[in-house]
């Protein structure tokens, strides 16, 4: 599999697999299947995987640790701290918490659950407005000095936070949403990352499944599917946003690629230090997505996608208002 370099020399597979959807509750009914997907990804040459203490909380990291037992030296694991998790009970208390004592406690818990003595990439999951970024970066710097963490990352951070963190300890990667239907990072974030030599790991590169072309106005979501709460996924907005899927499909039909592959290939073509992070519960879908690495978009293809996307108004916010407010987005 192709590799790419994020910041500070962190070299990883050109695509990353996120385990978030494999267990955000206390029960993972298809745990065995999900472990199979993770192990199949390693067999396919992927080495960059993403989890977080808040997924569950804790069950996701435990499953990832089990999946990679015996192949730890073949993979690079990214996990995150930053939500207000009771470190004794695992209860999500609501809001964020990046106090140095909380960071250290979260990291010790993650190391235990992952069955490892180091974390390859440690992200602050969300910026904590009550804790100076200098204190957060300083704590992670200490953990790196102790050998418990190798690289420092941020998630959904703004330019000011990125600069303040980077001044204390170099940031290797920023994880934020970026795709053909969420292009906000292009205004300020991407130029800043390029200036500072920080990599970008875009999550939801397929628009939470929408850009695959398998969701339309008639699609129904289960009551526990978070997309049912997202304004961008109301029936009316899904119908309106089909214009973007049609654009992506038109390019794919011309070059023999699926919409998902085109959407991922578009991201890969933006910068050499962008490593898209996708999630899937299926080996078949995994293989389809990895096929994006073989898709070559010409200058005309890229121009058609960019010009076409700029002419389409995307309807609906990417998160419910309460989530946007709570996360500081």
- Total number of domains in the chain: 1
Residue at 57 is within a domain: yes
Question: Which residue segment(s) compose the domain that 273 sits in?
Answer: 3-208+264-295
**Catalytic member of 55, 123, 151, 319:** 55
Instruction: Return the structure tokens found at 320.
Output: 């419910």
Residue at 301 is within a domain: no
- Predicted local confidence at residue 21, as pLDDT: 72
- Predicted local confidence at residue 70, as pLDDT: 93
Residue at 150 is within a domain: yes
Q: At what angle do helices 235-255 and 299-310 cross, to 10 degrees?
A: 170
Cα distances (angstroms) measured from residue 328 to each of 143, 169, 195, 295? 26, 23, 24, 36
124: region left, alpha or beta (phi > 0 left; psi from -120 to 50 alpha):
beta
- Predicted local confidence at residue 222, as pLDDT: 84
- Predicted local confidence at residue 31, as pLDDT: 84
Q: Which residue has the tokens 């939470």?
A: 208
Q: What is the CATH number of the domain that holds 42?
A: 3.20.20.100
User: Residue ranges of the alpha helices (H) in 53-132?
Assistant: 59-67, 100-114
Cis check: omega of the bond before 57, within 30 degrees of 0: yes
- 55 in catalytic set: yes
- Predicted local confidence at residue 226, as pLDDT: 84
Residue at 43 is within a domain: yes
Residue at 108 is within a domain: yes
Cα distances (angstroms) measured from residue 269 to each of 147, 208, 275, 276? 34, 20, 10, 11
User: What does each of the 329 residues of the chain score in pLDDT, given as a tens digit?
Assistant: 999 999 999 999 999 999 887 655 556 778 888 999 999 999 999 999 999 999 989 999 999 999 999 999 999 999 999 999 999 999 999 899 999 999 999 999 999 999 999 999 999 999 999 999 999 999 999 999 999 999 999 999 999 999 999 999 999 999 999 999 999 999 999 999 999 999 999 999 999 999 999 998 889 888 778 898 899 999 999 999 999 999 999 999 999 999 999 999 999 999 999 999 999 989 999 999 999 999 999 999 999 999 999 999 999 998 777 665 655 55
**Closest by Cα among 123, 88, 130 to 105:** 88
Residue at 226 is within a domain: no
* Those residues with Cβ within 8 angstroms of residue 213's Cβ, 6 or more apart along the chain or in another chain: 245, 248, 249, 258, 259, 260
Residue at 246 is within a domain: no
Contact 19, 63 (CB under 8 A): yes
- Predicted local confidence at residue 24, as pLDDT: 52
Residue at 114 is within a domain: yes
């Amino acid at each position: 599999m192709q590799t790419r370099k994020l910041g500070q020399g962190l070299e990883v597979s050109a695509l990353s697999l996120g385990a978030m959807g494999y267990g955000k509750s206390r029960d993972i009914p298809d745990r065995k299947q999900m472990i199979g997907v993770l192990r199949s990804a390693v067999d396919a040459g992927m080495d960059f995987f993403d989890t977080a203490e808040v997924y569950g909380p804790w069950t996701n990291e435990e499953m990832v640790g089990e999946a990679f037992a015996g192949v730890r030296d073949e993979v690079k694991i990214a996990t995150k701290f930053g939500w207000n998790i009771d470190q004794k009970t695992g209860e999500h208390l609501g809001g964020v918490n990046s106090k140095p004592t909380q960071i250290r406690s979260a990291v010790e818990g993650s190391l235990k659950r992952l069955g490892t003595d180091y974390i390859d990439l440690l992200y602050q999951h969300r910026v904590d407005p009550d804790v100076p970024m200098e204190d957060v970066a300083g704590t992670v710097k200490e953990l790196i000095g102790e050998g418990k963490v190798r690289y420092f990352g941020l998630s959904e951070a703004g330019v000011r936070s990125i600069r303040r963190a980077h001044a204390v300890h170099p940031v290797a990667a920023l994880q934020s949403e970026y795709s053909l239907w969420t292009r906000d990072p292009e205004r300020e974030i991407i130029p800043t990352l390029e200036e500072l030599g920080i990599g970008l790991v875009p999550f939801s590169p397929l628009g939470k499944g929408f850009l695959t072309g398998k969701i339309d106005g008639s699609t129904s979501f289960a009551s526990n599917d978070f997309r049912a709460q997202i304004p961008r996924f109301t029936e009316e907005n899904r119908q309106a946003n089909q214009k973007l899927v049609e654009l992506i499909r038109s390019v794919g039909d011309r070059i023999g690629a699926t919409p998902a592959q085109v959407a991922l290939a578009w991201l890969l073509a933006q910068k050499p230090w962008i490593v898209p992070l996708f999630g899937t519960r299926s080996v078949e879908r995994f293989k389809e997505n990895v096929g994006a690495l073989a898709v070559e978009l010409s200058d005309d293809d890229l121009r058609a996608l960019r010009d076409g996307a700029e002419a389409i108004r995307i309807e609906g916010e990417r998160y419910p208002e309460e989530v946007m407010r709570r996360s500081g987005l």
